[in-house]
Amino acid sequence: MDGATRRAGALCGTRRLRHPVSAARRLLEEGRVLALAAGVEDRLGAAGEERMDPAWFITAERAAQLETARAAGRTLLDHAGEAARAAGDDAGTVGAVARDAAGALAAATSTGGMTNKPAGRVGDSPVIGAGTWADSRSVAVSATGVGEAFLRTAFAHEVDARVRLAGQSLAEAVSAALEQVRGVGGEGGCVALDAAGAVLAFNSQGMYRAWVDPAAGRWGLAIFGETELEGGPMSELVA
């Protein structure tokens, strides 16, 4: 989502697109907001989006995670809980928020969804206002967690509303919105950025996160509650 214009593009059910965020951006540029991938994958492919055989996306870790979740008869977050630990894997959804030199905010989210989800289920990530949101007047938000709870609480827009209309700080707004997620039985977190450039990452457990701060001239990364696990000058980053 582009917070300067509030144009947005999203896809659900992608099976072959290698770069779903870039494909979603094409939809944004066409003026479409949400599409079923089955209806647009071929057209986006013909327009230049790289397509892979669905088998290309399968990894041994994810296959093991799915088997564990199936055996337990449960639908699980791919980056939390027993299935993730059993598979030795606790990284999943990718979220990005950014602010450009002109102050425009943007957000993007890419996910495989929850492990062992029922066929046809759509989570929060492609739903604008639930898992993804950007409005340059207030915040950019990309969420991860139990999608149903983020949908039911209109999570990302709730953060926006609290900052823009209720005057809360980004930290207060994210914390209160996550409280609502927990209130309907969900768990998860987000990366969020406000118009002043403050970045936040919240999660119930660890959350792999990285950032670049052009004003400070530094990059950093963190996993759990620490503010920075590793970091360095931006000159270390290669294009």
Q: Which 8-state DSSP code applies to residue 224?
A: S
CB 123 within 8 A of CB 113: yes
93, 111, 132, 153: the catalytic one is 93
Q: Which 8-state DSSP code applies to residue 77?
A: -
Neighbours of 26 (CB within 10 A): 17
9 vs 92 by CB, closer to ligand ASP: 92
Token output for 112 = 């495989």
170 vs 181 by CB, closer to ligand ASP: 181
| Contacts to ligand ASP from residues 66-125, by CB under 6 A | 77-79, 92-93, 111, 113-114, 123-125
> Which of the stretches 5-13, 37-45, 140-148, 161-169 binds ligand ASP when contact is defined by CB under 6 A?
140-148
- Residue 108, classed as helix, strand or coil, is strand
**For this structure, is 227 an active site residue?**
no
Q: Residue 96 pairs with which residues in a beta bridge? A: 108
Under the binding rule (CB under 6 A), the answer on residue 20 touching ligand ASP is no
Under the binding rule (CB under 6 A), the answer on residue 131 touching ligand ASP is yes
Member of 20, 81, 145, 186 binding ligand ASP (CB under 6 A): 145
Nearest to 150 by CA among 120, 166, 130: 130
Q: Residue 135 pairs with which residues in a beta bridge? A: none
Whole-number minimum distance, CB 172 to ligand ASP, in Å?
23
Whole-number minimum distance, CB 81 to ligand ASP, in Å?
11
CB 83 within 8 A of CB 68: yes
Taking residues 179 to 218 in sequence order and writing x for each that binds ligand ASP by CB under 6 A, - otherwise, the string is ----------------------------------------
109 vs 136 by CB, closer to ligand ASP: 109
CB 14 within 8 A of CB 41: yes
CB 233 within 8 A of CB 217: yes
**Which residues of this protein are in contact with ligand ASP, per CB under 6 A?**
77-79, 92-93, 111, 113-114, 123-125, 131, 144-147
Could you list the active site residues? 93
